[in-house]
Amino acid sequence: PQTPARQQVENRILAIENYYFVFKINEVKLDSLQKIDFDILINEAKSVLNFRFDQDSVPVIEVYSHTSRNGQIDANKNAARLRAEKFVDLMLHEGLPIETLVPKVIFVEDEKVPFPVRSVSFKVKYVNPAAL
């Protein structure tokens, strides 16, 4: 059975994974509503990252940037990579440690439940601290 503190962390992880942000082409700017969600996301992430996990498992947040295979795949992948990196920069600016943020590109055609193109979403995974 999970401790109440561990259950609270698991609930925060689910909250993090429910967020996503959609942007305009070649732009990573938060509008006023997105800024509110972003602030909540950062608070949830800080709570998860500050929880004392066992020493062989720590959380990292994968920052997924969603793109499509339609059009020029390489250009789309590059734009998505830049979007993920810019979003990670926003998170770093709010004090999250760089070793806990992993930017990734995902093609919507490969997803079971696709996110919108030009969006950023999140997945929390546990890794061995030696891998960081």
Residue-wise pLDDT for 15-61, tens only, equals: 999 999 999 999 999 999 999 999 999 999 999 988 777 667 888 99
b/e sequence 81-119, b meaning 16+ C-beta within 10 Å: eebbebbbebbeeeebeeebbbbebbbbeeeeeebebbb
- Chain segment 85-121, per-residue pLDDT in tens: 999 999 999 999 999 999 999 999 998 878 999 999 9
Q: How far apart are the first and last CA of the chain?
A: 28
Domain residue ranges of the chain, discontinuous segments joined by +: 4-131
Residue 124, CA atoms < 13 Å, CB-side half-sphere: 21
Distances (CA, A) of 78 to 67, 98, 106: 10, 21, 11
Q: Which of 75, 69, 67, 61 is nearest to 124 (CA)?
A: 61
Side by side, the strands of the sheet bearing 58-67 are: 20-22, 119-127, 58-67, 101-107
Q: Assign domain 4-131 to its CATH superfamily.
A: OmpA-like domain (3.30.1330.60)
Strands 58-67 and 101-107 come out as parallel
What does the alpha-carbon distance between residue 105 and residue 42 come to, in Å, rounded to a whole number?
A: 21
Total-model pTM: 0.91
